[in-house]
């Protein structure tokens, strides 16, 4: 019985010491911070571009004034966020181009084939899903050690949460 306890304690010690080393390496590795920052910028821009494009479709394909109002707000707000992210991208000298992902292209293509209530439902589902991901992304970035990344993420997180809440409310009202 004592041997089992000693073995368990030894294994726990190894696991904890190994994970402390991993965390310590991640905390002090500047390269990881740059990768995290670049990923935040890229993912933030990609999501914003996709939401702007889908929202443009909403303005033309929907007859629901709440959906159209949400789409106009998203275009305005995401244009501002994208401008800040593009400035940060330039400041960080990130030269990679950002395009809409193939998953978003497929979703927008499907969306473009819909109209009326079917369009509204699919658009709102896309906006809810995208904003849930954006909330996660901006929440993680709001703790970044880079002050510029942290500021943009922290400043825009309440807006993105409001978008998510608005899309959810309209989506629920359609049912």
User: Mind listing the domains of the chain with CATH numbers?
Assistant: 34-174 (1.20.1260.10)
Q: What is the structure's pLDDT at 100? A: 94
pLDDT reading at 15 higher than 60: no
Q: What is the structure's pLDDT at 175? A: 64
Q: What is the structure's pLDDT at 1? A: 54
Q: What is the structure's pLDDT at 52? A: 97
Q: CA nearest 157: which of 131, 144, 139?
A: 139
Q: Residue 38 burial by CB count (10 A; 0-12/13-18/19+): exposed, middle or buried? A: middle
Q: What is the structure's pLDDT at 8? A: 38
Q: What is the structure's pLDDT at 37? A: 87
Reported as a single tens digit per residue, the pLDDT across 41-83 is: 999 999 999 999 999 999 999 999 999 999 999 999 999 999 9
pLDDT band at 4 (very low <50, low <70, confident <90, very high): very low
Q: First and final CA of the chain: distance in angstroms?
A: 60
Q: What is the structure's pLDDT at 96? A: 87
Reported as a single tens digit per residue, the pLDDT across 87-111 is: 999 998 998 889 999 999 999 999 9
Q: CA nearest 71: which of 92, 57, 87, 91?
A: 57
Instruction: Return the number of other C-beta atoms located less than 10 Å from residue 49's C-beta.
Output: 17
pLDDT reading at 26 higher than 50: no
Reported as a single tens digit per residue, the pLDDT across 132-150 is: 999 999 999 999 999 999 9
Q: What is the structure's pLDDT at 25? A: 40
Q: What is the structure's pLDDT at 21? A: 38
């Amino acid at each position: 019985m004592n041997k089992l306890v000693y073995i368990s304690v030894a294994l726990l010690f190894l696991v904890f010491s190994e994970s402390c080393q991993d965390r310590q390496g991640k905390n002090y590795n500047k390269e990881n911070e740059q990768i995290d920052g670049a990923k935040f910028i890229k993912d933030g821009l990609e999501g914003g571009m996709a939401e702007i494009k889908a929202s443009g479709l909403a303005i033309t394909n929907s007859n629901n004034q709440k959906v159209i109002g949400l789409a106009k707000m998203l275009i305005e707000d995401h244009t501002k966020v994208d401008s800040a992210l593009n400035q940060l991208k330039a400041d960080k000298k990130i030269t990679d181009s950002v395009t809409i992902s193939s998953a978003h292209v497929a979703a927008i293509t499907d969306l473009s084939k819909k109209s009326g209530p079917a369009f509204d439902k699919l658009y709102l589902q896309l906006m809810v899903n995208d904003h849930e991901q954006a909330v996660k992304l901006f929440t993680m970035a709001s703790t970044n050690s880079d002050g510029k990344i942290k500021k943009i993420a922290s400043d825009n997180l309440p807006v993105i949460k409001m978008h998510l809440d608005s899309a959810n409310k309209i989506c629920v009202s359609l049912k």
